[in-house]
Amino acid sequence: MSAAPPPVLSIVVPMFNEESVLPLFVARLRPVADGLGVTYEVVAVDDGSTDGTAIGLQRERRGWEQLRVVRLRANAGHQAAISAGLMRARGDFVVTLDADLQDPPETIAPMLAAAREQGVDVVYGVRSDRSSDSRFKRGTARAFYRTMGRLAGTSAQADAGDFRLMSRATVEAVNALPEYGRVLRFVVPALGFPSETVEYRRAERAAGTSKYPFTKMLRLSVDSLTAFSLAPLRFATLLGLLGGLAAVALLVYALVAKATGQVVAGWTSTVVIVAGMGAVQLLALGILGEYVGRLYAASQARPSYYVAYDSAATGSTVEAGA
């Protein structure tokens, strides 16, 4: 295996069932990448796709030597797929972008220029116009980032997703944090490297459908919050405290009522109390469970993805699925 010198730029692209968008993506990215005037590699991370993405990538690779394909054994999720790409990218700079052409490849050039000319380590792609995202997506995103800013004291770059360029030093720092459920848009700013922003217009998905159902968005939010904030735990403590105080007050009231001979025939109040206390306890337990789950996953220290195949490691023969 030849150890070619590392390229100036690595382009990391997570792909989950993107067969319909793949030819469009390659047709658009390739001339842009070829025109950058620097050596580059594209690290396509096939996140356990079950459609024709793997075959499509092999086909694209035949005519494009800069394309490296890494296939994960199972769907590990967007963040884990990017992480797999970051671990393998060799460039002095690494840019991550979505395969669906919502992040325009043309923006890579100004990002790279900003990093090189201004000497910053991170260049965030910032969406100047989010009208291509649904109202629901924009609304929930705004609420989510506001909550994170308040509760976690950490903030993501406003209106930035995972379209960003990072220096080698930043990528090494990220790779050194083998955190379970790592959400890069919060981890990267928290590292504190000097940064810049480049605006871009977020386009519509070029083909296919979103691979981010509501459940995955919710998972991302919970992971972000529990990774950076103990506020939900404190909230649980507060709830428990308030519930406990209410219970003591009720106890006193019940004893006084009994002593003074009043008969309480309160079926409704009993149900309300039992249900109310149950709800408080279950909520607190659920919050606790999220953190225990995180600890559990961290103590197992299991990788968050498994690589099935890497075109750079195995040469041209396909060992995928072995």
Name the site residues for ligand UDP (rule: CB under 6 A): 14-16, 18, 47, 75, 77-78, 81, 98-100, 102, 205, 210-212
Report 174-193 residues binding Mg ion (CB under 5 A).
none
Which does residue 68 touch among ligand UDP, Mg ion, none (CB within 5 to 8 A, set by kind)? none
Contact between residue 223 and residue 146 where contact means Cβ atoms under 8 Å apart: no
Closest separation in Å from C-beta 297 to ligand UDP:
17
Residue 68 beta carbon to ligand UDP: minimum distance, rounded to whole angstroms:
16
Using CB under 5 A, which residues numbered 93 to 132 contact Mg ion? 98, 100, 102
Taking phi over 0 as left and psi of -120 to 50 as alpha, with beta for the rest, 177 belongs to: beta
Of 55 and 169, nearer to ligand UDP (C-beta) is 55
Residue with tokens 């692209």: 13
Kindly determine how many residues on this chain lie close enough to bind Mg ion according to the rule CB under 5 A: 3
Residue with Cβ nearer Mg ion (102 or 304): 102
Q: What is the DSSP string of 92-144?
A: SEEEE--TTSSS-GGGHHHHHHHHHHH--SEEEEEEEE-TTS-HHHHHHHHHH
Compute the least distance from the CB of residue 217 to ligand UDP, in Å. Answer: 8
Residue 306 Cβ vs Mg ion, minimum distance, rounded to whole Å: 24
Contact 13, 108 (CB under 8 A): no
Adjacent-strand bridge partners of 264: none
Q: What are the CB-based long-range contacts (under 8 Å, 24+) for 137-146?
A: 140/217, 144/221, 144/224
Six-digit token string for 24: 């469009």
Give the nearest distance from C-beta 190 to ligand UDP in angstroms: 22
Query: Looking at the chain, how many residues does it have?
Result: 322
Q: What whole-number distance in Å separates Cα of residue 14 and Cα of residue 60?
A: 16
Partner whose footprint covers residue 196, from ligand UDP, Mg ion, none (CB < 5 to 8 Å by kind): none
Q: Looking at beta carbons only, is 79 or 102 nearer to Mg ion? A: 102
DSSP state of 13: E
**Is the Cβ of residue 49 or residue 102 nearer to Mg ion in the bound state?**
102
**Given the rule CB under 5 A, which of 91-99, 145-153, 157-165, 215-223 is the region that contacts Mg ion?**
91-99
* Residue among 109, 105, 21 nearest 60 (CA): 21
Please name the residue that has the structure tokens 């691979």: 211
Smaller CB separation from ligand UDP, 114 or 165: 165
Nearer to Mg ion, 56 or 232 (CB): 56
**Distance between CA 81 and CA 60 in Å, rounded?**
20
Out of ligand UDP, Mg ion, none, what residue 47 binds, judged by CB under 5 to 8 A for its kind, is ligand UDP
Nearer of residues 46 and 121 to ligand UDP, judged by Cβ: 46
Here the contacts of 239-244 (C-beta below 8 Å, separation 24 or greater) are 239/280, 239/283, 239/284, 240/280, 240/281, 240/284, 242/280, 243/276, 243/277, 243/280, 243/281
Based on CB atoms, which residue is closest to ligand UDP, 100 or 223?
100
Min separation Cβ 8 and ligand UDP, Å: 23
Closest approach of Mg ion to the CB of residue 21, in Å = 9
Residue 197 beta carbon to Mg ion: minimum distance, rounded to whole angstroms:
20
Q: Which residues bind Mg ion (CB under 5 A)?
A: 98, 100, 102
